[in-house]
Structure 1
Amino acid sequence: MPASRVDLTEAAAELLRRLAGDNGPLMFHQSGGCCDGSAPMCYPAGEFRTGASDVHLGDLTVAGVPAPVPVWMSAAQFEYWKHTHLTIDVVPGRGSGFSLEAPEGVRFLIRSRLLTDAELATLD
């Protein structure tokens, strides 16, 4: 089975189920910094326009969410993070006003670890 670049915790999956129920299909784009810090931003699918300067990290399949949730990152940021596995989690606190979870009093964040050599071999 090939390795994945992205996953999520059960707490994040539960929040995605609620957000999808309210907003329909969803997507993530890993913010590269600036005013939002570096955070996974959740949007209604298609609201954040991706293009040639973005890398599709994978799709999250979440029980109770009707469509896979694609995860994107800018190509420039991917150059720094291409050796890492990203896990989307959720914690209490105020995130960005642009991400769908902001009114919930929680924020998505990334937990990361280095990919193993075996995982990298299946991804390359």
Structure 2
Amino acid sequence: MSPAAPALTTVIAAVTIPGETTPRVEFTPAAVGTLRELWSEVGPLMFHQSGGCCDGSSPMCFPAGEFITSDRDVLLGRLDIAPAGETAQVVDFWMSAEQFEYWSHTFLTVDLVPGRGSGFSLEAPRGVRFLIRSRLMDSFG
């Protein structure tokens, strides 16, 4: 009998914006499952959300360090996708400064849905894509 697969749960980001105490990003269980698979294949991961058009407005998953962030990009959060009790698997979630100006009042949920997304994001060959769902935040402190 093989061991049970680690439970998939929502993962909420650690706060990374100075002066804030409220998280801004979470991954759904479906996103966590795919991210764990991708981590086992390519190693550490990162996300970047730009304000581009078409697929450029989708959250993009890359091997950590493959997408070069600038001094103006905003680190919205760090999310540990590792199962409880295992070595940390931290995924940084970055957003372009321009996009952050528009979305600064929102909480982001990264979900996974069927369909083909950007060819640059790691999940694309799997026939799924990461998708942002957002809601207004009540507080930022």
Question: What's the TM-score once normalised by structure 1's chain length?
Answer: 0.90
User: Are the counterparts in 1 of residues 82 and 89 from structure 2 also a CA contact under 8 Å?
Assistant: no
**Residue 116 of structure 2: SS of its match in structure 1?**
coil
**Residue 132 of structure 2: SS of its match in structure 1?**
strand
Q: Does 1:9 align with 2:28?
A: yes
1:53, distance to aligned residue in structure 2 (A): 2.1
Q: Does 1:92 align with 2:111?
A: no
Decide which moves more: 92-101 or 53-62.
Answer: 53-62
1:34, distance to aligned residue in structure 2 (A): 2.1
Structure 2 residue corresponding to 1:62, chosen from 62, 74, 81: 81
Question: For 1:63-95, what per-residue CA distance to the aligned partner results, in whole angstroms no more than 9, with x for missing partners?
Answer: 247421000010011000000000100000000
Structure 2 residue corresponding to 1:31, chosen from 24, 31, 50: 50
Instruction: State how far apart, in whole Å, the 2-side matches of 1:105 and 1:31 are.
Output: 22
Specify the alignment match of 1:109 in structure 2: 131
Specify the alignment match of 1:21 in structure 2: 40
- What's the % identity of the aligned pairs? 64
Q: Which has the higher contact order (CA 8 A, sep 6+)?
A: 1
Q: List, as ranges, runs of 4+ consecutive aligned residues in structure 1 with deviation greater than 3 Å.
A: none
Amino acid at match of 2:114: P
Between structure 1 and structure 2, the one with the greater Rg is 2
Instruction: State how far apart, in whole Å, the 1-side matches of 2:123 and 2:70 are.
Output: 24
1:37, distance to aligned residue in structure 2 (A): 4.5
1:10, distance to aligned residue in structure 2 (A): 0.3
User: Are the counterparts in 2 of residues 56 and 71 from structure 1 also a CA contact under 8 Å?
Assistant: yes
Structure 2: runs of 5+ lacking an equivalent: 1-14, 16-20
Q: Does 1:42 align with 2:45?
A: no
**Residue 47 of structure 1: SS of its match in structure 2?**
coil
Question: For 1:11-63, what per-residue CA distance to the aligned partner results, in whole angstroms no more than 9, with x for missing partners?
Answer: 00000000000010000001312241411100000000001121100101112
Question: What's the TM-score once normalised by structure 2's chain length?
Answer: 0.80
Structure number having the greater helix percentage: 1
Amino acid at match of 1:54: D
